[in-house]
Structure formats: C-alpha cells, structure tokens
Amino acid sequence: MSEREREEIFSVRGPVLIAGVLIDGEEVDIAIDDDGTIAAIGPGARSAISAEIVMDGRGHLAVPGLVNTHTHAAMTLLRGYADDMRLQEWLAEKIWPLEARLTGDDVYWGTKLACLEMIRSGTTAFNDMYFFMERAAQAVSEMGIRATLAYGFIDLADAEKREAEIRATEALVRHIGSMGNPRIRAAVGPHAVYTVSPEGLRWCAEYAREQGIGIHIHVAETEEEVRNCVREFGRRPPAHLDRCGCLTPRTVAAHCCWLDESECRLFADRGVHVSHNPASNMKLAVGRAMPYHWLRAHGVNVTLGTDGCASNNSLDMLEEMKFAALLQKFAWNSQTMLPAHEAIAIATEAGARALGIGPGRLAPGAPADIVLLDLAAVCNTPLHHADSNAVYACNGGAVKTVLCNGRVVMHDRFVPGEAEIREGAAQAAQALVRRSLEF
C-alpha cells in the first residue's frame, strides 16, 4: 500500500464498506454510515451506503471492539519500573514517589502510549481513573477511540482535601462537557472506601446522580480492605458504599475479589457493573478470585479490565480474556467456568453496557467499533472455533485493523504517529524517574 492510499484510509470521513470479512463463519460485507454507525451487515450491505472507500476484509475475522472497564492509562509510564515487591513497599517506595512528581504532560504522553497499545490490541473504549484528566482527554481525542474519564477522588478524611477533590471533579466534568466529543465522557472516581471518607463518597454519589454520569471505584480488592472497612465503619465495603449511595446502575466496581454471595446479590439488585481484573489480582496476590459464578448466577453484569500498567503490565485485552477464563477455572476449581464465548462477551457486550456505548455487538445501528483479526495468524491455525482461538491462543498481535466510530484508527498494523508517541512517552518516563531521584 502506498503512503497516499494509507493517508486516504485514515482521512476518510464518509461511509465505509468492509468487504468480504468473516463473521460467525460467513463471509459478509459491513456497511458503515458517515455518522459512524453500522448501516447493514450481510451480502447485500454494499447497496445500503454510497461508500467513500471500500476496505478489503478478506482473510479477516470481524469482532466488536474490546472494552477495557478498569484502567489507569497514564501508568504506562511506570511499566516495569517496579515489580515483585511487597505491596506496601512497592507503593510507598516506588509508585507514590513517582506519582507525586507526575505532571499533566506525563499524563498526556502516558495516555497516548496507552491508547496506542489498546488500539494495537483491539480495544476501542476504556474506563479510566487517574490525575490531570484534562490531558488524558486531549490524548484520547487525538487517538480516536472512546473513553470514560474519572478524576481519582482521594480525600483521606481531610475536609480541606475533600473540597479540593470536589473542585477537581467538577472541573473535569465541565471540561469534558465543553469538549463536546461524543467519544469522551466523564465519570466520578471515588478511589475506594479506604481513601475516601463517607462524606466524600456521598458527595460523589450525589454529584454523579445530578450529572447523570458514571461512578468508577475500586471495591473489595483485598481482604485487608474488607477487614479495615468493618473495623472503621462497622460494615463491609459493599454495605458501606450502599449507605453512601455509591451502588447504582451507573457504577463500575473494579476487582470485587472478596465479595461474598449476599454482596453479589446486592450488586445485582443495585444494577452495579463489575470489572474483573484477573492479571492484576494475580500479580498483586490478592488471595481470592472475583466470584464470577455468584455474580453470574445473580445476574450481575461482569465486564473485563486490565488495571494500570504498574500492576499488570499490559493493556492487551485478548491476553486478559485468557487470564480471566483460566483464573476462574483454576480458582473456583471448574474446567467449564467462564468458557470462551463468555470471555468474549464480558470483554465486549458487557463492557459496552457498563459504559453505555451501544450493544457491543456487530449489528445494524450499533457504533462501528470493529476489530479485524488476522485469519492467517498462527494462533488462528487451524480454525476449529474462532472464539476459542481468540481467547486461548491469540494475543493483541492478531489484530490487524481497527475502526472506532466508523473511522480507521489502525490499518494493517499501522497507527499514524506511532514512533512519535513511543518516543514522547519514553522521554516523559525517563524525566519522571530523574525528577523522583532528585529529592
């Protein structure tokens, strides 16, 4: 492909036809409207639009864009900075000193790198919580994918700090509103029951309700969190959060390793979405896997997330699907738990539902967030079952082309500006470490 043809693909703003792609074993065309929605799928889709460009989909499998429901995207800058340490030492000696020196520019470059990594591994939407989120919004806007962005609200039971966090949260929500970018949404991000006071949690819940936006929070990640919550507030995290109004149909609760069965039922009653983060939970040795069987039995919407790059250290959702399917089998002692098609569902449909971005399926009327997987990849050879290959054999390397909102963001593994992003992020990471060592 010539550079000119490539430029053309990335600059298309009109209707797009993807021709001859495989979906559920059938070769079909996908017609995409100029507003970024799927107009038609099937042999006759070609006539549904007047395509500005026709992409050759032959030799590819089309799947919905993956949805990562729990990240701290800019922590890509900390990838591999410190691992294999005891949690408290790791946080106190390595992570916090670096985060204390973090700038808006760092968050911009870290989020650019994260978006690049997500695009290259088939993710088209993510649910993020971190700092300097206006700069994260800028990065996401430039990269062309979707994000729900929350400022990490941490008041440590300090009234003055709480006021500052309230102002920061309000400012981010106003800023994202003013951007008017349909791909980017705001959420409220109360960090966890051990970092946010009940007053802070109540304000977050009330403000999210007023604004009609999501709540993104860490819940029951470790046994210590549960124990301390009982000691301090007389109840376990879910009951405590419920009293503070934080359990809602707009809430995404990350981790949830230590929920008991009654808490799974409570989450179902409240319509809370859960983000399963298997690789992070294993790496940080949290001692228990999220109880998928109970959540599923009670009808909770379980989704999938990678967590940040300090505790994973990858944003590859194809890899994360394998970790989820394997961890659930191992931890709950069942060879049939979380089969391949469910692993794909939690990474697509369930994630899209949690973030309110369409059905997370390839269907007419759905947003054209589309990933083309390489059928010629070794991981797709042989092709007995495409779902199984995607979950158990492939990783992000099998992703060839990605569209978000009907626009091409990667084509044949080429992402515009990739080298500059890697360079900018690497320099930001180096400078951040240097600054942290100067003190």
107 or 113: CB nearest a copy of itself? 113
Segment interacting with a copy of itself (CB under 8 A) among 47-55, 163-171, 263-271, 395-403: 395-403
Interface with a copy of itself includes 438 (CB under 8 A)?
A: no
241 or 432: CB nearest a copy of itself? 432
Among 65, 358, 396, 406, binds a copy of itself (CB under 8 A): 396
Interface pattern 264-283 for a copy of itself (x via CB under 8 A):
---------------x-xxx
Interface with a copy of itself includes 17 (CB under 8 A)?
A: no
Tally Cβ neighbours within 10 Å of residue 434. Answer: 10
Among 284, 290, 352, 354, binds a copy of itself (CB under 8 A): 284
Among 25, 80, 180, 234, binds a copy of itself (CB under 8 A): 80
Interface with a copy of itself includes 55 (CB under 8 A)?
A: no
Decide if 380 contacts 388 (C-beta within 8 A): no
Residue with tokens 């599923």: 296
Among 123, 127, 301, 313, binds a copy of itself (CB under 8 A): 313
Closest distance between a copy of itself and the C-beta of residue 404, in Å? 18
Instruction: Name the DSSP letter for residue 408.
Output: E
Decide if 402 contacts 153 (C-beta within 8 A): no
Among 388, 414, 435, 436, binds a copy of itself (CB under 8 A): 388
- Containing 253, the helix (H) or strand (E) segment is strand 251-255
Closest CA to 94 of 104, 84, 103: 84
Closest distance between a copy of itself and the C-beta of residue 298, in Å? 22
Closest distance between a copy of itself and the C-beta of residue 87, in Å? 6
Interface with a copy of itself includes 150 (CB under 8 A)?
A: no
By DSSP bridging, strand 53-56 and strand 60-64 are unpaired
DSSP string covering 72-121: -GGGGGGTTTS-SS-HHHIIIIIIHHHHTT--HHHHHHHHHHHHHHHHHT
Interface with a copy of itself includes 401 (CB under 8 A)?
A: no
Instruction: Name the DSSP letter for residue 45.
Output: G
Interface with a copy of itself includes 87 (CB under 8 A)?
A: yes
Radius of gyration of the chain (CA): 21
Closest distance between a copy of itself and the C-beta of residue 409, in Å? 14
Residues 116, 423: Cα–Cα separation, whole Å: 12
Decide if 9 contacts 411 (C-beta within 8 A): yes
Residues 54, 321: Cα–Cα separation, whole Å: 31
Closest CA to 126 of 318, 304, 3: 304
Interface with a copy of itself includes 25 (CB under 8 A)?
A: no
- Contact positions toward a copy of itself, by CB under 8 A? 76-81, 83-87, 90, 113, 116-117, 120, 279, 281-287, 289, 309, 312-314, 316, 319, 322-323, 325-327, 329-337, 339-340, 376, 378-379, 381-385, 388-389, 392-393, 395-397, 419, 422, 425-426, 429-430, 433
